[in-house]
């Protein structure tokens, strides 16, 4: 008889996370999609030294994934409680991107439209980084693909700057101030001009995601317009 999961621990966009015994959790897809590719990606990057949870088992024809339970709060929760860590967290997030993008992606990875050849996460933002006692651990590998660094950086930029804070007016202003500092610290190591060229196609891709609100898409389009105008001013000298 298959072992049954324990209490629900968390819910994402299309998966639920359950307790599954000492040190383990079970990730279950609500729409019956297979988690096999996600598990294979996690195993690939982890074998090459990247901080991802260890995969233990695929169940129910790939719709359930048993993996390590990572103790720790998200980077997003940490910076909200300790805003003095904003810039350090932004730099750490950039390092996690750079470490991941240094890995060549095998041909069985999904190919991003940019035609790149390295591993990209396409959802690597502060809510998908767990600050574990032994160091950060990156989760939620459903969108991972074979692509270019600038595409991944641009995607994280849009998510961090444009996601709805879901708070009152005053709290929203505080969050916006915090995350602008986080975004700028994150972008520091990258070629901003190259990253800007990837923003517009990513917004159109995100616009098809039912989990993103029209207000968030509009905010992303404003970022694109602002940054493209900035690059044009720089080009004019």
Average pLDDT rounded to a whole number, residues 196-208: 91
Q: Which residue has the higher pLDDT, 118 or 32?
A: 118
Mean pLDDT confidence for 197-213:
88
Q: pLDDT confidence of 194, banded at 50, 70, 90?
A: very high
Please report, for residues 36, 40, 51, 168, the alpha-carbon distance to residue 159 in angstroms, rounded to integers and kept in the order given.
26, 25, 21, 20
Give the range with max mean pLDDT: 177-181, 203-207, 220-224: 220-224
Instruction: Report the pLDDT value the prediction gives residue 55, as an integer from 0 to 100.
Output: 96
| pLDDT for res 25 | 94
CATH 3.90.1200-classified regions of the chain: 73-236
Strand partners, 111: 146
What's the DSSP call for residue 6?
-
The predicted model scores a pTM of: 0.92
Q: In the predicted model, is pLDDT for residue 5 greater than 60?
A: yes
| 140-188 pLDDT per residue, tens | 999 999 999 999 999 999 999 888 765 444 444 556 677 888 999 999 9
Q: Are 109 and 41 in contact (CB under 8 A)?
A: yes
Residues spanned by CATH 3.30.200.20 within the chain? 8-68
Q: Judge whether residue 35 has pLDDT over 90.
A: yes
pLDDT 10s digits, 88-126? 999 999 999 999 999 999 999 999 999 999 999 999 999
Beta-carbon contacts of residue 90 (< 8 Å; ≥ 6 apart) = 181, 182, 183, 184, 185, 186, 188
**Residue 56 near residue 68 (C-beta atoms within 8 A):** yes
Query: Within 13 A of 146's CA, how many CA atoms are on the CB side?
Result: 13
Report d(CA 18, CA 8) in Å as an integer: 4
Question: What tens digit of pLDDT does each residue of 43-91 get?
Answer: 999 999 999 999 999 998 888 999 999 999 999 889 888 888 999 999 9
**Distance of alpha carbon 127 from alpha carbon 120, whole angstroms:** 17
- CA distances to 39, 60, 179, 196 from 176, rounded to whole Å, are 34, 42, 5, 20
Q: What is the pLDDT of residue 2?
A: 64
Q: Per the structure block, which two tokens stand in for 51?
A: 């901080």
Mean pLDDT of 226-237: 91
Q: CATH number for 73-236: choose from 3.40.720, 3.90.1200, 1.10.10, 3.40.50.
A: 3.90.1200
CATH class of the domain at 8-68 = alpha beta
**C-alpha gyration radius of the chain:** 18
pLDDT value of residue 18: 92
d(CA 5, CA 87): 39
pLDDT at 175: 62
Contact call for residues 69 and 25 (beta carbons, < 8 A): yes
Query: What's the pLDDT at 171?
Result: 44
Q: Look at residues 151, 79, 88 and name the one whose alpha carbon lies nearest to residue 122.
A: 151
For tokens 């993103």, name the residue.
212
Is the pLDDT higher at 137 or at 32?
137
């Amino acid at each position: 008889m298959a072992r049954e999961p324990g209490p629900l621990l968390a819910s994402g966009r299309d998966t639920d996370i359950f307790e599954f015994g000492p040190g383990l959790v079970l990730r279950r897809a609500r729409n019956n999609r297979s988690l096999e590719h996600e598990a294979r990606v996690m195993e690939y990057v982890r074998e090459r030294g990247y901080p991802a949870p260890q995969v233990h088992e695929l169940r129910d024809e790939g719709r359930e994934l048993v993996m390590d339970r990572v103790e720790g709060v998200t980077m997003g929760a940490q910076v909200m409680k300790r805003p003095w860590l904003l810039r350090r967290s932004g730099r750490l997030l950039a390092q996690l991107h750079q470490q991941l993008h240094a890995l060549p992606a095998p041909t069985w990875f999904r190919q991003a439209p940019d035609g790149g050849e390295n591993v990209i996460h396409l959802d690597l933002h502060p809510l998908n980084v767990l600050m574990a006692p032994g160091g950060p651990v990156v989760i939620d590998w459903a969108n991972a693909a074979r692509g270019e660094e600038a595409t991944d950086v641009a995607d994280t930029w849009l998510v961090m700057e444009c996601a709805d804070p879901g708070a009152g007016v005053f709290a929203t202003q505080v969050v916006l101030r915090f995350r602008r500092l986080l975004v700028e610290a994150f972008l520091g190591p990258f070629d901003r001009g190259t990253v800007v060229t990837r923003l517009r196609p990513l917004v159109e891709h995100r616009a098809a995601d039912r989990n993103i609100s029209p207000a968030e898409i509009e905010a992303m389009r404003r970022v694109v317009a602002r940054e493209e105008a900035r690059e044009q001013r720089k080009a004019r000298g």
